[in-house]
Structure 1
């Protein structure tokens, strides 16, 4: 299934650029069929606000990057574009000069992407090249740009802080990589002065963005089992900072929320996922490795509801959007579930290709990117 297809064997291979991996988009096991889609009478009026074609993602998972009213999208063959998030109008589109391996990261002034063989490429707000930096190995995680720093994580689990103006390295933090990990681009996110970094082996780390000083490092879930496969417990997707908490989920581990300042757990629950979480005022939404969508109470982690109608459909990271929770699947469908009880309330189709990356909420639009390169913004009427 999707999770085992993402596994990367042997830490020695992880330590070199272009590490070997299994294809995360391989065909499904014919013995385990995805759940069929039931006929649905929609109670949610969803319309296309706009569409844009950027180009195929290949074996990578690209999410749009939002900064203010601008959206930055990339393709595997090196296309980088800036769009108006409300209308989809193209502001500019450039060729990066390299294949691209990560989503863009931006603060609105600097745009950075991971390129071929660990190259990091930076551009200004008009799409003009600024500098390049050579990371120690392949970059799958979207860079984070904040406080004059471009933070980059490579697959050998090295996090570097690069001066956003000059491209010079300012700081570096290195952590060990387990023998077996998910090839899933564990994410980073900024909250205040901190950079929260998802780690393989079930760890979550908070750094001071400007200096790289480790504020705290906590174990979300301990690896367990007799074999390396059973012991895979990587954080999935990007952590989410909401108010004074940071929430996340691991594969073969736990979902939970932690105090953003100290790392002290607020709550954790046994769970297994290979995609990230969504958080709103009341709930934490997660998708387990079989495709079931669950809502946890954000306050204490009690299960509010569970919908397993998308079993084995390779469901994406969810998004809380108005009165709904939205997810994409391997056939390019976007499903809307009731935020209150998890019932299906709407469904739209895209281009038929998988949606494996995290969606973005931009004002009144919900934006997805498919593997074939369609960027689609949806609005609810």
Structure 2
């Protein structure tokens, strides 16, 4: 099970061996409780094709997402490779070795590229792949660094948030936030909003901070702890918050999904929900995958349910991505499933390399970009 592999704790890990509550989360469980849904043959009504593939090396324990920079993509892999490619063709513009295994990335503002490395290393490169500086975080970095207004924001797994000068790597500010006793080994993301950064936090919270100083503007709870045991009370943020007009939308594991007014931090709408991957938004909908693998779509304005597709149950769908008339998710076998954004019916399916799609997919020009655990980055064109 994906969740059980990601379970981490500072104080209660030992109790998991004998825990029977939420057995699907127990890393010592011998058999998975739920079997992945079998795929059925599609009579697809939409043509998709793989335009190109590039390999950047296995992700290992990291979760990587391509960064879109103009008409190019910057890609990273767990073995230390960083590659910049032409979005249209997949042709490599350059490829460098960071010199250390990587754990997170790629963060960029279009001028600086930043990745997380082994043992808390933070590395920055210019847009030609030349190393600019190295810095050291207080612990492992799993969240993609955020870059904006000349500041690189790094969040490490001990929940220390640091602002670094984007040109020199010198520390500008640091904020230590409390960590819950039990959390998932996830990579809660960050989102630059104007002069601020919104940081997803363990415990189901979002924190908006001033980029220049780290000063807090507001904090929002996306979920509240409930239950009799530490496992039942565990809440963590799934993926990165997403900006939708004047709102920021997000989801929490064993918490809620919702959209919040980004300036005033007021609730637009929320619903009980549980997901360990992020949300996607477009002009009409918010898309999310629950912890059983069902894909849900909500009205962006009021949270009303539009449709639900549960045919990918326990196939561990990725964060969704919306493009044109379709919404797509990857699964644990590397398949990409395209569904109608209007009713959720399957439209098409594409294969990658047979390994799990774990990073957040992105839209780049007229292509959807998916990265697998084995290191394949596939550009899929919708025709």
Distance in 1 separating the partners of 2:220 and 2:90? 40
Corresponding residue of 1:151: 153
Pairing 1:50-65 to 2, within 5 Å after superposition: 50-65=52-67
Corresponding residue of 1:33: 35
Structure 1 residues not aligned, in runs of 5+? 14-22
Distance in 2 separating the partners of 1:26 and 1:351? 29
Pairing 1:248-287 to 2, within 5 Å after superposition: 248-287=250-289
Deviates more, 1:187-196 or 1:240-249: 187-196
Secondary structure in 1 matching 2:64: coil
CA separation of 1:83 and 1:215: change in aligned 2, threshold 3 A = same
Conservation of the 8 A alpha-carbon contact between 1:104 and 1:142: yes
Deviates more, 1:225-234 or 1:280-289: 225-234
Secondary structure in 1 matching 2:103: coil
Distance in 2 separating the partners of 1:121 and 1:142? 12
- What's the offset of the Cα at 1:11? 4.9
Q: Deviations over 1:58-94 (max 9, x none)?
A: 1222111112222111111111111122221111100
2:14 is the counterpart of 1:8:
no
The one of 321, 338, 343 equivalent to 2:323 is: 321
Q: Deviations over 1:95-153 (max 9, x none)?
A: 00111011211112111111111010111111111111110100000011111011100
Secondary structure in 2 matching 1:132: strand
Distance in 2 separating the partners of 1:86 and 1:176? 44
CA separation of 1:76 and 1:178: change in aligned 2, threshold 3 A = same
Distance in 2 separating the partners of 1:238 and 1:115? 20
The one of 326, 332, 335 equivalent to 1:333 is: 335
Distance in 2 separating the partners of 1:30 and 1:201? 26
Distance in 2 separating the partners of 1:372 and 1:318? 20
Secondary structure in 2 matching 1:103: strand
- What's the offset of the Cα at 1:5? 2.5
Pairing 1:229-378 to 2, within 5 Å after superposition: 229-378=231-380
Deviates more, 1:241-250 or 1:205-214: 205-214
Structure 2 residues not aligned, in runs of 5+? 14-24
Pairing 1:195-210 to 2, within 5 Å after superposition: 195-210=197-212
Distance in 2 separating the partners of 1:11 and 1:46? 48
Corresponding residue of 2:16: none
Q: Deviations over 1:250-283 (max 9, x none)?
A: 0011000000112111000000000000001111
2:91 is the counterpart of 1:96:
no
Conservation of the 8 A alpha-carbon contact between 1:195 and 1:206: yes
Conservation of the 8 A alpha-carbon contact between 2:12 and 2:182: no
Q: TM-score, normalised by structure 1?
A: 0.94
Distance in 1 separating the partners of 2:113 and 2:284? 33
Deviates more, 1:131-140 or 1:224-233: 224-233
Conservation of the 8 A alpha-carbon contact between 1:351 and 1:370: yes
Corresponding residue of 1:185: 187
Distance in 2 separating the partners of 1:28 and 1:348? 32
Conservation of the 8 A alpha-carbon contact between 2:4 and 2:27: no
Corresponding residue of 1:108: 110
Secondary structure in 2 matching 1:236: strand
Alignment length (residue pairs): 372
Corresponding residue of 2:51: 49
